[in-house]
Structure 1
Amino acid sequence: MQTRNRVAMSRRAFAGSLGALVLCAPAVARAQSSGVVRRNTSGFKLHNWQDHFDELGKGIIISDTNSRVMQQWMPGGEMFIYPTSVPMTDELTRRGYTEITFKDPAPDWTPTPSMRERDPSLPAYMPPGPDNPLGARAMHLSWQYYRIHGTHDTRKIGRRSSSGCIGLYNEHIIEVYDRTPVGTQVKLI
């Protein structure tokens, strides 16, 4: 007669193991399934690129400022999803069609005139580095002063915290930057 081994588990042990599972969830969410990379997307409203563009071309980025998510499609149809920071107010938000015009591998930062007006204590210039608000990489849009960039302040992601730009975790902007050519179509909604 064969017996099965059973492990007795208290409520506290069960709750602890459940907590460990929750901590591992981001790694599990990163697993690819049919060409789509999902990163904790449960609260994100996802879009179909065909609803916004006629063709993939060099690739497409759609950033949804309401659900704070950015979707990127590659020419072969592979899609990636990222949580973002978005502008603090609707007055700072620009929506519509644009494109990537310049990629900066080590962005420096000069606050815009309106940023300096709102906060005169901002420095006039900040070189690339760990304190730079543009993070590890930046991609300039065809609209003056607007960028998709990284941030060293991870508390900003998922919040209304920018002065108009779309912010990503530094590790995410590096991924996006590396696979995004100049001329990529972008839409902010």
Structure 2
Amino acid sequence: MSRPTTPFLNRRLFLTGSLATAAVPAIAQNGSDSVEYRSKVGSVRRNASSFRALDWEPYFDSTRGGAILVDISSRALHFWNSDRSIYKLYPTSVPLSEELTRRGRTKIVQKVVGPEWRPTPSMKQRNPDWPDYVGPGPDNPLGTHAMYLSWTYYRIHGTHDTRKIGRRSSNGCIGLYNQHIAELFSLSKVGTQVLVI
């Protein structure tokens, strides 16, 4: 014979269920199985609710050659390959301010493994103590891989400073975890279209 449930237990069950549902990140609630970022969402918990799969069609006429969408407000990069059989969603760092942010259409014009880094003239003006040159390696602000865009000084690159991901922390570029930029680097090619919104 079952025991009747008291109002206190009913409230407790309701609250527990409600809290559990609210705690599930938006990405886990999305029905798309093609998003492979799910297992890493805990590392950017403060932005988890912003991460959701997007469709390419509102942003691109086609995905021929691949397509990259960078969403500054959600701090996320979306990638579709040519036939849309691969879709990736990565957390990013974004520019510190609107003044440093550039939006619009561009494309990948060069890909470099082990990039060298030189601060732009405006970076050097803001930070005169910065070195004039940093070679490839763990101190390089561009991480392990960099994809240069048709806009001068703008790149999609890795970072060794993982605290920057999910934040407004760059001087204009889009930063990814090194393991993510390595994967995106292998999927993208020179000529891949990029839209920053």
TM-score > 0.5 by shorter chain: yes
* Structure-2 residue corresponding to 1:75: 82
- How many residues align? The count is 161
* Structure-2 residue corresponding to 1:172: 180
- Match of 2:115, SS state, is coil
Do the aligned residues in 2 keep the contact of 1:139 with 1:149 (CA within 8 Å)?
yes
> What TM-score do the two structures reach when normalised by structure 1?
0.80
* Structure-2 residue corresponding to 1:37: 36
How far has the Cα of 1:75 moved from its partner? Answer: 1.1
Q: Which moved more, 1:44-53 or 1:66-75?
A: 44-53
Unaligned runs of 5+ in 2: 1-23, 42-47
Distance 1:46 1:65 in 2: 15
Identity percentage of aligned residues = 55
How far has the Cα of 1:42 moved from its partner? Answer: 3.5
2:54 matches 1:55: no
> What TM-score do the two structures reach when normalised by structure 2?
0.77
- 1:25-51 Cα distance to aligned partner (Å, 9 max, x none): 9xxx7xxx6433233254225432111
* Structure-1 residue corresponding to 2:196: 188
* Structure-1 residue corresponding to 2:126: 118
Q: Which moved more, 1:44-53 or 1:164-173?
A: 44-53
Larger helix proportion of the pair: 2
Distance 1:52 1:116 in 2: 35
Q: Within 5 Å, which residues of 2 pair with 1:122-133?
A: 122-133=130-141
* Structure-1 residue corresponding to 2:163: 155
Do the aligned residues in 1 keep the contact of 2:97 with 2:168 (CA within 8 Å)?
yes
RMSD (CA atoms): 1.9
Unaligned runs of 5+ in 1: 1-24
